[in-house]
Structure 1
Amino acid sequence: MTKSITIIYAYRNRDVARVKATLVSLQMQTQQNFHVVFVDYGSEGSYAQKVQKVVSGFVFATYYYVAHTGLLWNKSKALNYGIHKTTTPYVFLADVDVVFHPSLTAVMQQLITPMGFYLFTIAYLPKEINTKEAEQFPIENCKPTHIGNTFGIGLFPLEALQKVEGLDTFFHFYGSEDADLNARLQEAGYFLKYHKPLLIQHLWHPRYPFKKDSQIMVQPRLTNVQRINQRHYLRNREKGIIKPSRRDRMGNVISKEESDFLQKPTKIIKIYNILSHVEHFLGEELPSYTGEIIKVEFLEDPYFQTLKYKLKKLLGKQTQLYCSIKEVNDMVLKEIVFNYRDANYSFEISENLKSIIFCVRMN
């Protein structure tokens, strides 16, 4: 059968059992009119090996590994890479947390149109339903916690996605990239319709803990990123933007060979958490290193934790202004999001949360 639909997954460091469950539900489809493009965007090696083995066990699926673990999570870049690899006229953007009714792809075959795109109704399963049980659709005697519409799981013409140049890669971590894509497609003249019959079930997982964005953790988090993403989405809507601005070629990712360059820095710098030093380096010094591969370690000044410093600060005596490692984290992450998101970079927080290593190849 000619494949008319490519189903794209974006993945990173997730439970492999979920991947198996969603692919098993595709294996059970009554119409095998699809191909799966599975994009692993920067998983750690232990996850990558396991998920590649699972994906490779399904004849309809192809696994792609973006082998650069130091990149920030960017769902838009992962999906755009999948779109770039697509050769079918239609695309279904999926999620590793969902399982499908056996008739999904047959229904999609009836819905496809070059004039618009479809989002779907989705049922959210309770916590006690495990991945094995979720492979059976519908699950007997199981009441969903709630039912709603999807924002990012949908059926799109490939030509439409190419016309708007895919998802906007400004969006990092989580939030607004799906709504932004839908709005730009409509701005470009494509209609949006909702398919109401229930064909998708969502496995339970903890909600993204936005409240932890204000804490320093080994996993990178940026304070207020949800609002920053929301502001970008609203700006795009206000200006009627169709194609994202300020970004690299759609579908471009950093290769393993390119990422290996970061292991051979041409300049190594250490900067203590003195506010003026951090601000000056990021705003003035770093942009001047044209053509260099920079490795900078931000770390706590030993003086920062001394009784002498704390007493001087308490007494209001003049001293250098310091910033916490979390504040350094946020300053560096904002630089990546706003200025270096398309560069070859890596970002790593130490296990003891006392230092940050940022590497970047400057153009």
Structure 2
Amino acid sequence: MKFTIIYAYRNREPNRVELSLLSLKKQKHINFEVVFVDYGSTLEFSENIKKVVEVFEFATYYHIGHNGLLWNKSKALNYGTTKTKTDTIFIADVDVLVAPDFSEVIESLIKPNQFSLFRIGYLPERVTSNVIENSDFDMLKPKHYGDTFGVGLFPKKALEKVGGLDEFFHFYGSEDEDLNFRLVAAGYKMNRCQSNMLLHQWHERYPQKAKENLSAIPRLSNIQRINQRHFLRHKETQKFALDAVQTRKYYSNSDYEILEKPSKIIEIDNIEAEVIHVLNYELPLFKSHIVKVIVKESAFYNSSKYKLKTALNKQTQPYLSMKEVNDLILQKILFDYRNYNYSYKVSKYLNSVEFTIDLRN
């Protein structure tokens, strides 16, 4: 029985993707096809990964979104589901390697009223891409095994019944656990497959504390707990079907080009009152415009005069750090503008941010 494997990807090393696809090519039975969804990679990455994917006859490459959008794995996977022609979907990960009997095991697990999650072995740093490429699967020894929430086998009808993955979830955290809960709530049985047929390629973990600092790659402080709260809300209300699935929109690079011609530009310093007022009052007024909001770090904010006034508790205009500005805008996108065509950028020197949005829809 044929099934479809969906990958969600953005700006990752092409080599690790190639190794994952090569492990699929070694299957005894090619009873699957791959839907590879590149969600908003930069031109450099998208051009390279497209070449890698299209080498494999069983794989089809799709590029959606654009680089100005925040990373949203749920959107990528939901789009992949719309491109799936089979009744069964395996959600993969670009870091995963599969055993030679993977496709046979998957075929044996396909049931209309059940979804399956899998164990995965985590390879140590010393198992490099070169070692992987020149070793049989059984020769690769993981440092430990763990159960996954996000790598799984699903009936397509089950995903459609619950509305797919919730696109509220941005960056990383809880989107897979939320999906699994809603499937069980909808009456599907969860099966834990204990076969050791998946390995995870090593990569550095992003330091948790780094999320508290501004970076050129947009990151939102406390996003994992915000995502978790959204998931827990579904559990509290026993909600399994998502509302307004029909409102989902998938943008492209041509939509990014539209944002390069804003009809309104608002430039402000990182003064707390101005930032809050613009985001919550002024911006919503421009419903027929493409609006660009530029927030720059004020020279006065870093001056000795301001620091002295602050230290002495003297009255002065309150400022936000650029990280605080970043988090306010990202929260605004998350809660109010996640379905709009927008672009968010942090400057190279971390002293300004740009938020452009098409409010005409």
Common fold: TM-score over 0.5: yes
| 1:129-278 alignment, distance < 5 Å | 129-135=127-133, 136-140=135-139, 142-245=140-243, 249-250=247-248, 252-278=249-275
Q: Distance between the aligned counterparts of 1:56 and 1:181, measured in 2?
A: 30
Cα distance between partner residues in 2 of 1:247 and 1:340:
16
Note the alpha carbon deviations across 1:64-87, whole angstroms, 9 max, x for none. Answer: 012510111111111111011111
Amino acid at match of 2:324: E
* Structure-1 residue corresponding to 2:346: 349
Q: What CA distance in whole angstroms lies between the structure 2 residues aligned with 1:80 and 1:249?
A: 13
TM-score, reference length from structure 1: 0.96
CA-to-aligned-CA distance 1:163-193 (integer Å, 9 cap, x gap): 1111111111111111010000001110000
Do structure 1's residue 280 and structure 2's residue 289 form an aligned pair?
no
Structure 2 residue corresponding to 1:121, chosen from 108, 115, 119: 119
Kept after mapping to 1: 8 A contact 2:36/2:62: yes
1:347 touches 1:357 (CA, 8 Å); kept in 2? yes
SS at match of 2:196: strand
**Aligned-pair distance for 1:137?**
4.2
Query: Bigger shift: 312-321 or 239-248?
Result: 239-248
TM-superposition CA deviations, 1:106-157 (whole Å, max 9, x none): 11111101101011111111111122433544342x4311112121111100
Deviation at 1:226, TM superposition (A): 1.1
TM-superposed deviation, 1:208: 3.2
Q: Structure 1 residues 208, 166: closer, same or farther in 2, change over 3 A?
A: farther
Q: SS at 1:294's partner residue?
A: strand
Deviation of 1:247 (Å): 6.1
Is the contact made by 1:99 and 1:134 (CA closer than 8 Å) also made in structure 2?
no
CA contact (8 A) 1:21 1:132 kept: no
Query: What is the rounded CA distance, in whole Å, between the counterparts of 2:26 and 2:130 in structure 1?
Result: 14
CA distance in 1, matches of 2:65, 2:163: 24
Is contact 1:247–1:342 with CA below 8 Å preserved after alignment?
no
Query: What is the DSSP-based 3-state SS (H/G/I as helix, E as strand, rest coil) of the residue aligned with 2:197?
Result: strand
Further displaced range: 63-72 or 4-13: 63-72
SS of 1:198's partner is: coil
1:316 and 1:246, CA in 2 relative to 1: closer, same or farther beyond 3 A?
farther
| Residues paired across the two proteins, number | 359
2-structure distance, mates of 1:208, 1:85 = 31
1:46 aligns to what? 44
Task: Return the offset for 1:287.
Answer: 1.1
Which residue of structure 2 aligns with residue 104 of structure 1?
Answer: 102
| Alignment correspondent of 2:290 | 293
**Aligned equivalents of 1:229, 1:245: Cα separation in 2:** 17
- Please give the per-residue CA displacement for 1:210-247, whole angstroms capped at 9, x wherever unaligned: 22111011011111111111111111111111123466
Classify the secondary structure of the residue corresponding to 1:19.
helix
Segment of structure 1 superposing worse, 156-165 or 128-137: 128-137
The 1:78–1:90 alpha-carbon spacing in structure 2 relative to 1, beyond 3 Å, is same
Deviations 1:330-361 (A, max 9, x none): 00000011111111000000000000000001
Quick one: structure 1 residues 153 and 117, their matched pair in 2 at CA, closer, same or farther if it must change by over 3 Å?
A: same
CA distance 1:266–1:247, change in 2 (3 Å): farther
Measure the CA separation in 2 of the matches of 1:246 and 1:353: 37
Q: Which amino acid aligns with 1:148?
A: G
Q: Is the 8 A contact 2:259 2:358 kept in 1?
A: yes
Paired position in structure 2 for 1:18: 16
Counterpart among 287, 312, 315 of residue 315 in structure 1: 312
Determine the structure 1 residue equivalent to 2:77. 79
The question of 1:303 aligning with 2:300 is answered: yes
CA distance in 1, matches of 2:29, 2:187: 30
Percent identity of equivalent pairs: 49
Residues 63, 252 of structure 2: 8 Å contact kept: no
Residue matched to 1:325: 322
* Deviant stretches of 4+, over 3 Å: 245-250
- The answer (yes or no) to whether the contact 1:218–1:349 under 8 Å persists in 2 is yes
Q: Which residue of 2 aligns with 1:361?
A: 358
* Cα offset, 1:98, TM superposition: 0.7
Q: Distance in 2 between matches of 1:360 and 1:149?
A: 39
Structure 1 unaligned regions, length at least 5: none
Matched residue of 1:197: which SS?
A: coil
Partner AA of 1:175 in structure 2: G
Q: How does the TM-score come out when normalised to structure 2?
A: 0.96
